[in-house]
Amino acid sequence: MIAIPYLTALTTYFSYGLLFAFGQIRDLFRKIIDWSRANNLQGYAPICLGLEDFYTRRLYLRIQDCFGRPISSAPDAWFDVVERYSNDNNKTLKRTTKINRCLNLGSYNYLGFAAADEYCTPRAIEALKKYSPSTCSSRVDGGTTVLHNELEKSVAKFVGKPAAIVLGMGYVTNSAILPVLIGKGGLIISDSLNHNSIVNGARGSGATIRVFQHNTPSHLEEVLREHIAEGQPRTHRPWKKILVIVEGIYSMEGELCKLPEIIAVCKKYKAYTYLDEAHSIGAVGKTGRGVCELLGVDTADVDIMMGTFTKSFGSCGGYIAGSKELIQYLKYTCPAHLYATSISPPAAEQIISAIKVILGEDGSSRGAQKLAQIRKNSNFFRSELQKMGFEVLGDNDSPVMPIMLYNPAKIPAFSRECLKQNVAVVTVAFPATPLLLARARICISASHTKEDLIKGLEVISRVGDLVGIKYFPAEPKKQEERMVKLD
Amino acid sequence: MTMESLKEIDELCDEWVPESLIPPLTEEIRCEPPVLESASGPQTVINGKEVVNFASANYLGLIGHEKLLESCTSALEKYGVGSCGPRDVHLDCESRIAKFLGTPDSILYSYGLSTMFSAIPAFRKEGDVIVVDEGVHWGIQNGLYLSRSTIVYFKHNDMESLQSTLEKITLDNKRAKKLRRYIVVEAVYQNSGQVAPLDEIIRLKEKYHFCVLLDESNSFGVLGRSGRGLTEYYGVPVEKIDVITAAMGYALAT
Ligand SMILES: Cc1ncc(COP(=O)(O)O)c(C=O)c1O
């Protein structure tokens, strides 16, 4: 859990209070002005009423240049950020033709497959020429090519399950599969920090939803006991089934799931497990097979394994891996499989090739090198940040490392200052995190070189001093020496 | 908690037996879809045999188009396959689509199916009223479910049923003026192939002051003289529709 220092909490609340007050005052003036003008809605209700869009108008718009920055190259270790300007106090941003070459510390390009790759790209282009960009059909009526079947086989083998089904988008994989697996009379127990796609899938399923404290197996057990004993609400009939949903790496926290403990609890109480490996598949584990491999969990103990190809594999889409029967059933019932256009053939080929590289089936050791590199890079970067006195969340080996900012004013300050010094970082604030816990999220890639990381650290350290986010005392010096030694 | 109640809970937990994760498979479920050995163009290869393809929504025959393949190849080389944030090409694409349709702006989603089911909950909140054709596809149905609004279905493509539904809602709700009201229809219904009578829908919408969300997945690039969809087909100014969505996996073949 994040223990926020008392003083920081106070100033953060104060800042938000101030922003809120000023926003309210400006709203009041706007209302008065609107009053005097003719109402042009002609009987339609306004799309946004009162406070519904307050956050967007008065807080987000003021710092929107820190989000959604367009880039004009592949999201490799370095990339081109398009400069933007605004003539109306940041309400709208216009793109210029000027480009700023920046170090990329924001993309989920864990293994460096996002940029052109000597093995994958030629094959993806070949698939594009042979199969076109789209199949224009869903999987069941003419959208299944030889590539699609090969992809599913190779994914199943890679994650260590008998079978797999692949859908065109990771988000849809969660939100369309969950309603098929469980419905009324079922119970979903979900980690409190699960991704929005899981939340939407769970809501869409009609099952009862309960939340357990983030990554706390003992609380999961408590919730399970309580609800099995109680049964369904009102009727007290026993639950039809219980599904526990967790993620491999939490992308906003950089934390690894306590999978062995959670699996043990689920087994004891006969609950099914659903593991979302969006950020862990390909990124961690000795051969890139995700948290199960890293933490020594037998994949047979996880009932449903889900993941996406947008991150480590530099493609698009998502998968579900499980028993042969489960996958067969999903292929017959899942709306996203039956109605949505199938995954684009070149994207499928990109995944197949990326898996081959990771497993060394391309005949080189590039995959193993990438995996060693991302681990080394991540652990180096994390320990250096900690030594400088930043409050860094997450576990060792995780390539995601959030740096706590807290104060709303520090979000744009940190982001803009880093960008000025050619380092692009992602800042995350409400509603993706709790209001008080704004942070910058660093994602490390295997394609970062040592020099890249050292440059990133230097800039972040300088900006960190400027913005005042080194919440812990720095470790007594000798940093330079150590950095050199680590080579 | 007392020892007894702890023991009781232990027993209840021991006794509880969940259903299996999935129901037993039937013969029907095991059937396999055809596997294509070439692009899903007008002719395709299945099991080594050349067949004519009537299943794909390749409305404009853009699959295999030389120019498109060329520009896709150079994009792949420059940008890689996957994306990790907005690219300038994405933004260019958004403004081109908006220009093509004649709307002020547009937004690109990465997957056709998710467009409606993200867009609907984004606009609607609890308490809003949505009137929907009962024949809409799954993406819309799911979006409606997630929006937690009050949802009223009318008979598939039946304008009398739509009118009486709108009439009833307006009468029932004294607060109707404050309530956000929407109509959701598809231009060409994915499940039935019928075309929505847009002129009539517009007349009703204006009479009762509802906003219209129109899914043009199967008409974008197909209907109208220059492929601008249902609005062009009916000669209705595009400003009259509040939100238009479309999947690009069909006529645009992407
Ligand atoms: C845990 C988790 N699941 C699912 C997704 C959705 O994946 P996609 O971006 O491929 O739709 C994400 C993406 O950010 C994620 O973090």
Query: What spacing in Å lies between the alpha carbon of A175 and ligand 1's midpoint?
Result: 11
Question: Residue B24: is the preceding peptide bond cis (ω within 30°)?
Answer: no
Q: Is residue B119 part of a domain?
A: yes
A170 lines ligand 1 (CB under 6 A): yes
Q: Are B117 and B149 members of one domain?
A: yes
Q: Is residue B241 part of a domain?
A: yes
Q: Which residues contact A153 (CB under 8 A, 6 or more apart)?
A: A164
CA A346 – CA A303 distance, rounded (Å): 30
Q: What is the mean pLDDT of chain B?
A: 80
Q: Is residue A1 part of a domain?
A: no
Q: Are A204 and A299 members of one domain?
A: yes
Nearest to A269 among B13, B123, B252 (CB): B13
Q: Are B130 and B204 members of one domain?
A: yes
- Number of Cβ within 10 Å of residue B135's Cβ equals 20
Given the cut 0.90, state whether the ipTM is greater than it: no
Q: In which element (H, E) is residue A229 found?
A: helix A217-230
pLDDT digits (tens, 9 = 90+) for B42-54: 888 887 788 888 7
What are the residue ranges of helices labelled H in A50-97?
54
Q: Is residue A310 part of a domain?
A: yes
Answer yes or no: is pLDDT of B15 > 70: yes
How long is chain A? Answer: 487
pLDDT digits (tens, 9 = 90+) for B46-82: 877 888 887 777 777 777 788 888 888 888 887 777 6
How long is chain B? Answer: 254
Q: Is residue B254 part of a domain?
A: no
Nearest residue to A126 (alpha-carbon basis) of B253, B250, B76: B76
Give me the number of domains chain A comprises.
2
Give Cα B45 distance to the centre of its chain.
30
Q: Are A125 and A266 members of one domain?
A: yes
CA B49 – CA A424 distance, rounded (Å): 52
Q: Are A169 and A43 members of one domain?
A: no
Q: Looking at chain B from residue 191 to 210, which residues have their Cβ under 8 Å from any Cβ of chain A? A: 209
Q: Is residue B88 part of a domain?
A: no
DSSP A451-463: HHHHHHHHHHHHH
Q: Do B85 and A139 touch (CB under 8 A)?
A: no
Q: Is residue A24 part of a domain?
A: yes
Q: Are A263 and A387 members of one domain?
A: no
Q: Are B49 and B137 members of one domain?
A: no
Q: Are B100 and B222 members of one domain?
A: yes
Q: Is residue A114 part of a domain?
A: no
Q: Are A50 and A188 members of one domain?
A: no
Q: Is residue B123 part of a domain?
A: yes
User: What is the phi/psi pair of residue A447, to 5°?
Assistant: -85, -5
The single residue listed with the structure tokens 């493509």 is B157
* Domain of residue A463, CATH code: 3.90.1150.10
CA A61 – CA A130 distance, rounded (Å): 45
**Buried b vs exposed e over A48-83: b needs ≥16 C-beta within 10 Å?**
eeeeeeebebbbbbbbbbbbebbbbbbbbbbbbbbb
Tokens (6 digits) for A289: 């097979």
Q: Are A320 and A374 members of one domain?
A: no
Q: Please, what sign has the CA dihedral across residues B56, B58, B64, B68?
A: negative
Answer yes or no: is pLDDT of B253 > 70: no
Q: Are A346 and A375 members of one domain?
A: no
Nearest residue to A426 (alpha-carbon basis) of A252, A170, A192, A194: A252
pLDDT digits (tens, 9 = 90+) for B170-223: 887 765 566 778 888 888 888 888 899 989 999 998 888 888 888 888 888 888
CA A35 – CA A462 distance, rounded (Å): 49
CA distance A45 to chain B (A): 5
**End-to-end Cα spacing for chain B:** 60
Q: Do A350 and B181 touch (CB under 8 A)?
A: no
Q: Look up the domain containing A81 and give its range.
A: 6-104+368-486
Question: B68 at the A interface (CB within 8 A)?
Answer: yes
What are the residue ranges of helices labelled H in A291-401?
291-295, 324-333, 335-338, 345-359, 366-388
A255 lines ligand 1 (CB under 6 A): no
- Number of Cβ within 10 Å of residue B206's Cβ equals 14
| Predicted pLDDT of residue A481 | 41
Q: Look up the domain containing B45 and give its range.
A: 35-81
The tens place of each residue's pLDDT in chain A, 487 residues long, gives 566 677 777 777 777 787 877 777 877 777 777 666 555 555 565 555 555 566 666 677 777 777 778 888 888 888 888 888 888 777 788 888 888 899 999 888 899 898 888 999 999 999 988 888 888 788 877 788 899 999 999 999 999 999 999 998 888 899 889 999 999 999 999 999 999 899 989 988 989 999 999 999 999 999 999 999 999 998 999 999 999 999 999 988 899 999 999 999 999 999 999 999 999 999 999 999 999 999 999 999 999 999 999 889 988 899 999 999 999 999 888 877 777 788 889 999 999 999 999 999 999 999 999 999 999 999 999 999 999 999 999 999 999 999 999 888 888 899 999 999 999 998 888 777 887 888 999 999 999 999 999 999 999 999 999 888 888 887 665 444 444 444 4
Q: Are A193 and A294 members of one domain?
A: yes
User: What is the phi/psi pair of residue B27, to 5°?
Assistant: -55, -45
CA A463 – CA A460 distance, rounded (Å): 5
Per the model's pLDDT, the better-predicted residue between A416 and B245 turns out to be A416
CA distance B197 to chain A (A): 22
Q: Are B68 and B158 members of one domain?
A: no
* Domain of residue A295, CATH code: 3.40.640.10
* Domain of residue B149, CATH code: 3.40.640.10
CA B138 – CA B89 distance, rounded (Å): 30
A214 contacts A191 by C-beta, under 8 angstroms: yes
Q: Are A10 and A147 members of one domain?
A: no
Q: Is residue B226 part of a domain?
A: yes
Strand A423-424 relative to strand A94-104: parallel, antiparallel, unpaired?
A: parallel
Give Cα A74 distance to the centre of its chain.
19
Query: Which of A321, A338, A359 is the C-terminal boundary of a domain?
Result: A359
Q: Is residue A112 part of a domain?
A: no
| Predicted pLDDT of residue B88 | 60
Q: Do B113 and A176 touch (CB under 8 A)?
A: yes
Q: Looking at chain B from residue 17 to 56, which residues have their Cβ under 8 Å from any Cβ of chain A? A: 17-23, 25, 28-30, 33-41, 44, 53, 55-56
Burial of B94 (0-12, 13-18, 19+ CB in 10 A): middle
User: Ligand 1 pocket check: which of A171, A198, A200, A275 to mutate, most ligand atoms within 8 Å of Cβ?
Assistant: A171
Query: Which of B81, B116, B145 is the C-terminal boundary of a domain?
Result: B81
Q: Is residue A115 part of a domain?
A: no
Q: Are A177 and A303 members of one domain?
A: yes
pLDDT digits (tens, 9 = 90+) for B84-131: 444 566 777 788 888 877 777 777 776 766 777 677 777 666 678 889
| Predicted pLDDT of residue A244 | 96
Q: Is residue A113 part of a domain?
A: no
Q: Is residue B124 part of a domain?
A: yes
Q: Which residues contact B188 (CB under 8 A, 6 or more apart)?
A: B194, B195, B196, B216, B217, B218, B219, B222, B223, B230
Q: Please, what sign has the CA dihedral across residues A320, A326, A331, A335?
A: negative
CA angle B114, B118, B121 (to 5 degrees): 145
